[in-house]
Amino acid sequence: MLSVHQAVEHMLTTIKPITESNPISIAQAVDFVLSAPVQSAVDVPSYNNSAMDGFAFRGKDLATSKQLRCIGKSLAGHPFTGVVGAGECIRIMTGAQVPESVDTVAPQENTSEIEADLIQINSPTAVGANVRLLGEELQIGAVVYEAGHRLTPVDIGMLASLGIAEVAVYRPLKVAVFSTGDELVLPGENKQAFQLYDSNRFALHAMLERMGFDVLNLGLVADDPALIEATFRDAASKADAIVCSGGVSVGDADYTKAVIEKVGQVGFWQVAMKPGKPFAFGQIDNTWFFGLPGNPVSATVTLLQLATPALRKLSGEGYNAPLTIAAVAGEPLRKRPGRADFQRGILRFEDGENRVYSAGPQGSGMLSSMVQGNCLIRLSVEQGNVAIGDSVEVELLQNPIK
Ligand code: AMP
Ligand code: MG
């Protein structure tokens, strides 16, 4: 059985990213993946400007006198056009251009007006203080983003600040989603005692959409090999990837893997993790297949830990391992060696340290643990029981889950 690391490595080396790319307006570009690097076409800032509201002058003049004659002003968008001479200053506002003739700004609160237009500088002010210099943040030609970067809201602001109105991005990935299971009914329908609601498809759909993918929801499919085969063929003709839940275990009604073997190839099956052992990765024509286990926690955790890195690679995005932090177990945690655990935990900052507690019963069908929890406690394959006070690795649950 592959380890989580081996499974992810296998998928990342097998999958080649899509290459189709289009220009897009930055206003529409959040969550899209850059298909080309972005270089700055301007210096940032593009002119020397003041970091404070105050007075601008020649810094060396303070050695002669702390009192300066105010001869004009520079406002944001309305620069001072004259020359500031020895013993003179101008009133200046934050962001306003600092004229060539001066190099220093004293903040308003460190000054007093002795008489009309005679300003006294009350605190020592180093030459060059409070001036933001041309190009100090970015210079023309600087690579601001590499290709493969998924754009966040802050990135959109950065692109706008560089005067960039359009960027080249990969087309969004189309991901088909369906669930299998004769026991499932739709929320809102009448349910008999032996049935349960199809929840996976709703959670998976929402998570994939938050990851920036176009989701094609193919509904709920019965445990019938012919229907599952028809759904796979349909999905493969329309989507870059298929994410389905259920039917990848070893039960009598688990047909998903057998159908993939018939219509495509299975790359690997089963991963040494808990929850989520029955996970299948494969291919139908040019469409990648991620078969998630049916239990709701297993489905969410395998989407996050296994399918997501692969989908992100496919979408043209670079792979970033999840950010994890160290925490101290606030209570004992049960763990058997043999599989890597992703236990749902509640992380709190207490008494100056990160402490993590169990989010409750850890059954792979108990979605409440994901609702209560704010993190996954990542316990290695070899790890046994965790004692109170032991250090553990924690991954915060955030977007796209929370
Ligand atoms: P399976 O992997 O198909 O054997 O499913 C394992 C268990 O997960 C089933 O017995 C159901 O209890 C549950 N399950 C499967 N699919 C779903 C689904 N779409 N939504 C909620 N629970 C599911
Ligand atoms: Mg099933």
Both tokens of 294, joined, read: 């049916």
In short, whether 283's Cβ falls inside 6 Å of ligand 1 is no
Phi-psi region of 289 (alpha: psi -120 to 50; beta: other; left: phi over 0): beta
Residue 380's contacts (CB-CB under 8 Å, 6 or more residues apart) are: 340
User: Quick one: tokens of 64?
Assistant: 């002669």
Decide which of 2.30.30.220, 3.40.50.2020, 2.170.190.11, 3.40.50.1860 is the CATH code for 49-132.
2.170.190.11
Give the Å distance between the CA of 365 and the centre of ligand 2.
13
Question: HSE on the CB side for 63, CA within 13 Å?
Answer: 5
Angle, nearest 10°, between helix axes 225-238 and 256-263? Answer: 60
Q: Please work out whether the CB of residue 74 comes within 6 Å of at least one atom of ligand 1.
A: no
Measured from the alpha carbon of residue 246, the closest ligand is 1
Give the DSSP H or E segment for 238: helix 225-238
Establish whether the linkage from the previous residue to 124 is cis, with ω within 30° of 0. no
Is residue 259 within 8 A of residue 229, CB to CB? The reply is: yes
How far is Cα 394 from Cα 32, in angstroms, rounded to an integer?
Answer: 28
Q: Say if ligand 1 is within 6 A of residue 195 CB.
A: no
What secondary structure does DSSP assign to 249-292, as a single string?
SSSTT--HHHHHHHHSEEEEE-BSEES----EEEEETTEEEEEE
Ligand minimally distant from the alpha carbon of residue 250? 1
Class of domain 324-396: mainly beta
pLDDT at 81: 97
The answer to whether 382 and 340 are in contact (CB under 8 A) is no
Atom of ligand 1 nearest to the CA of 248: 2
Kindly state which CATH superfamily the domain 21-43+140-170 is placed in. Answer: Molybdopterin biosynthesis moea protein, domain 2 (3.90.105.10)
Which pLDDT does position 62 carry in this prediction? 97
Question: For ligand 1, is residue 204 a contact (CB within 6 Å)?
Answer: no
Please work out whether the CB of residue 298 comes within 6 Å of at least one atom of ligand 1.
no
Q: Ligand 1 pocket, 107 CB below 6 A? A: no
Ligand 2 centroid distance, CA of 228 (Å): 12
Give me the residue spans of the domains in the chain: 4-19+172-314, 21-43+140-170, 49-132, 324-396
The predicted structure's pLDDT at residue 288: 98
CB-ligand 1 contact for 68 (6 Å cutoff): no
* Nearest ligand 1 atom to alpha carbon 251: 4
* Tens-place pLDDT, residues 126-149: 999 999 999 999 999 999 999 999
Q: What is the pLDDT of residues 257-312, one digit of tens each?
A: 999 999 999 999 999 999 999 999 999 999 999 999 999 999 999 999 999 999 99
In angstroms, the Cα distances linking 171 to 34, 241, 248, 314 are 10, 14, 30, 11
Count of Cβ atoms closer than 10 Å to residue 385 Cβ: 12
Nearest-CA neighbor of 317 among 171, 148, 174, 168?
148
Please tell me the predicted confidence (pLDDT) of residue 399.
86
Dihedral-angle region of residue 36 (phi above 0 means left; psi in -120 to 50 means alpha; beta otherwise):
beta
The list of the chain residues with pLDDT below 70 reads none
Minimum-distance ligand 1 atom for the alpha carbon of 246: 3
Give the residue, out of 245, 259, 300, with the most ligand 1 atoms within 8 A of its beta carbon, to mutate for a pocket test.
245
Residue identified by tokens 């989010």 is 359
Instruction: Compute the distance from residue 201 Cα to the ligand 1 centre, in Å.
Output: 11
State yes or no: cis peptide before 400, omega within 30 of 0: yes
Distance 88 CA to ligand 2 centre (A): 82
CATH number of the domain at 4-19+172-314, out of 3.20.20.10, 3.40.50.1370, 3.40.980.10, 3.40.50.2300? Answer: 3.40.980.10
Contact 198, 296 (CB under 8 A): no
Q: Is 245 in the pocket of ligand 1 (CB under 6 A)?
A: yes
The verdict on the CB of residue 296 being under 6 Å from ligand 1 is yes
Pocket test of ligand 1: the residue of 177, 182, 184 to mutate, having most ligand atoms within 8 Å of its CB, is 184
Give the mutation target among 295, 297, 368, 370 for probing the ligand 1 site: most ligand atoms within 8 A of CB.
295
Q: How far is the CA of 182 from the centre of ligand 2 (A)?
A: 7
List residues bridging with 346 in a β-sheet: 357
DSSP 8-state code for residue 371: H
From the list 289, 280, 199, 303, the residue with the least C-alpha distance to 242 is: 289
DSSP per-residue codes, 66-99: SEEEEEEEEBTTB---S---TTEEEEE-TTPBPP
* Ligand 1 center–CA 184 separation, angstroms: 8
Instruction: Using the mean position of ligand 2's atoms as its centre, give its distance from the Cα of residue 216 in Å.
Output: 21
Looking at ligand 1, which residue's alpha carbon is closest to its atom 15?
A: 294
DSSP of 113-166: EEETTEEEE-S---TTTTEEPTTSSB-TT-EEE-TTPBPPHHHHHHHHHTT--E
Can you give the pLDDT at residue 305? 97
Q: How far separated are the first and last CA of the chain, in Å rounded?
A: 30
pTM comes to 0.92
